[in-house]
């Protein structure tokens, strides 16, 4: 075997990459990756050289311990490097199983799909991807369009909600309700947007008779942790039934136990969408995993024949190693009763946040969300400059607590703890937040 450095002297091996110093990493990212995204993080003082992560803690190259209260925007609900999930992947790799092949049987993926159907018995078909939430939403957009073309002739439109976020691929960004993410791109026809939480506006679109599907997040994430009225999705379900429209929920951010339910729509007793998408938390950051859980009727309307079965396939679709991650995460969620623990433990941090809000009502105006999906809405100073970004920066730089604003509403600071978070961690966060408010406002 030839040493790679004899052919390319500057080639960086895996072993070498794991020990690169931060200056070298910055140099490589600026030269070869997204230069301006890297510069945004560096100039804002929000990019750090993290060398280790465990539970809800991270350690930088200078040895500082940091509190991760954003978890890659919802990915690490089970904690960084969860031992149970890592062990599952390790056992899978040691088995030397066939990870992917278009026609081979897929035992791990089949088991994961079976387990999902146990949790959501009305939705019995699973599509598993080796990518992110945008890919999952692309899958369901295409599935609903094909199903409608085969069974609902004349329907062409997708209804989604203003200020929503469903990813940044071409199809997903057109389903999203924010114009800024569609800049410099030719619009995809057949999309319309209604205010989130407004069921009357949904019905006005449905009355036109050409709607295929309605898609929304159970709680808007990038839109600012917006929680609709409790009757909203019940009304949408009734309207979808009345007008024969598919109801799809995007659970990429709100699902996987984050809101105190294994799947966020289970907050609404008896509510069953026609499909929901998932990603982020089901992977716990070990490997990219996303997917769609679908009712039999919808799935078969799209792919329930030999001539349509190959209309949506992909190299990494239904692969066994992504399924091993998802299955291990799902098993941990159930055996450790993660959803119930999120509901129980979240009360402590919500009470602490409310105490801070009552002391600083013009700075911290509102606390939104459910469970461990928390949004803090901040006000502005006398010059009209919002407090959220400044407080987030002080939290990270001075107090070593990581949060993040919402990309569709930067008055909102998102707070996403995980199941390993202790009361001491919450006290660290709450104390740092109160000090940061005092320093900024």
| Beta-carbon count within 10 A of 232 CB | 18
Q: Give the pLDDT score at 46.
A: 85
Q: Give the pLDDT score at 211.
A: 98
- The contacts of residue 259 (CB under 8 Å, 6+ apart) are 218, 219, 267, 342, 369, 370, 371, 372, 373
Between CA 335 and CA 415 the distance in angstroms is 25
Q: Give the pLDDT score at 45.
A: 84
Please give the CATH architecture assigned to the domain spanning 84-335. 3-Layer(aba) Sandwich (3.40)
CA 293, 295, 296, 297 torsion: positive or negative? negative
Q: What is the pTM (predicted TM-score) of this model?
A: 0.97
Q: Where are the beta strands (DSSP E) in 167-303?
A: 191-194, 211-216, 246-250, 275-278, 290-294
pLDDT along the chain (441 residues), means of 10: 96 96 96 96 89 97 96 97 98 97 96 98 97 97 98 95 97 96 94 98 98 98 97 98 98 98 98 98 97 98 96 94 98 98 98 98 98 98 93 97 94 98 98 97 89
DSSP 245: -
Helix (H) or strand (E) segment spanning residue 58: strand 57-60
Domain boundaries, the chain: 48-81+338-440, 84-335
Q: Give the pLDDT score at 243.
A: 98
- Burial code (b: 16+ CB inside 10 Å, e: under 16) for 4-27 equals eeeeeeeeeeeeeeeeeeeeeebe
Q: Give the pLDDT score at 44.
A: 84
Strand partners, 95: none
Strand bridging mode 290-294 / 275-278:
antiparallel
Distance of CA 232 to the CA centre of its chain: 22
Helices (H), 76-187: 83-94, 107-119, 133-151, 170-175
Q: Give the pLDDT score at 292.
A: 98
Domain spanning 48-81+338-440: which CATH class is it, in words?
alpha beta
Between CA 115 and CA 401 the distance in angstroms is 36
Q: Give the pLDDT score at 72.
A: 96
Backbone angles phi, psi at 75, to 5 degrees: -70, -45
């Amino acid at each position: 075997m030839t040493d790679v450095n004899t052919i390319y002297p500057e080639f960086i091996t895996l072993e070498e990459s794991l020990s690169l110093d931060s200056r070298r990493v910055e140099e490589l990212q600026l030269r070869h990756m997204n230069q301006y995204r890297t510069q945004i993080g560096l100039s804002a003082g929000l990019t750090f050289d993290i060398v280790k992560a465990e539970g809800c803690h991270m350690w930088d190259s200078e040895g500082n311990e940091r509190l991760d209260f954003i978890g890659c925007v919802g990915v690490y609900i089970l904690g960084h490097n969860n031992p149970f999930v890592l062990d599952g992947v390790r056992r899978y790799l040691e088995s030397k199983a066939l990870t992917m092949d278009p026609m081979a049987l897929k035992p791990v993926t089949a088991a994961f799909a079976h387990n999902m159907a146990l949790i959501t018995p009305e939705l019995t078909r699973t599509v598993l991807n080796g990518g992110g939430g945008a890919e999952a939403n692309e899958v369901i957009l295409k599935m609903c369009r094909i199903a409608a073309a085969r069974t609902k002739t004349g329907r062409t439109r997708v209804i989604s909600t203003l200020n929503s976020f469903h990813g940044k691929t071409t199809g997903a960004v057109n389903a999203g309700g924010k114009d800024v993410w569609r800049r410099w791109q030719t619009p995809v026809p057949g999309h319309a947007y209604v205010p989130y939480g407004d069921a009357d506006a949904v019905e006005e679109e449905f009355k036109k008779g050409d709607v295929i599907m309605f898609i929304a997040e159970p709680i808007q994430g990038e839109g600012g942790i917006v929680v609709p009225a409790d009757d909203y999705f019940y009304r949408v379900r009734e309207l979808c039934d009345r007008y024969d429209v598919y109801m799809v929920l995007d659970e990429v951010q709100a699902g996987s136990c984050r809101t105190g339910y294994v799947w966020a729509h289970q907050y609404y007793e008896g509510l069953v969408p026609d499909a929901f998408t998932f990603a982020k938390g089901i992977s716990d950051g070990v490997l990219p995993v996303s997917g769609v859980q679908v009712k039999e009727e919808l799935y078969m309307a799209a792919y329930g024949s030999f001539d349509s079965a190959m209309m949506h396939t992909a190299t990494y679709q239904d692969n066994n190693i992504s399924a091993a991650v998802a299955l291990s995460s799902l098993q941990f969620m159930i055996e450790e009763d993660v959803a119930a623990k999120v509901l129980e433990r979240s009360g402590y941090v919500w009470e602490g946040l409310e105490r801070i809000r009552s002391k600083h009502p013009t700075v911290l105006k509102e606390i939104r969300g459910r469970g461990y999906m928390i949004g803090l809405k901040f006000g502005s100073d006398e010059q009209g400059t919002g407090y959220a970004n400044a407080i987030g920066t002080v939290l990270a730089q001075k107090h070593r607590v990581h949060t993040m604003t919402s990309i569709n509403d930067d008055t909102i600071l998102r707070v996403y703890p995980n199941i390993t978070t202790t009361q001491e961690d919450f006290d660290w966060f709450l104390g740092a937040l109160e000090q940061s408010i005092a320093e900024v406002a």
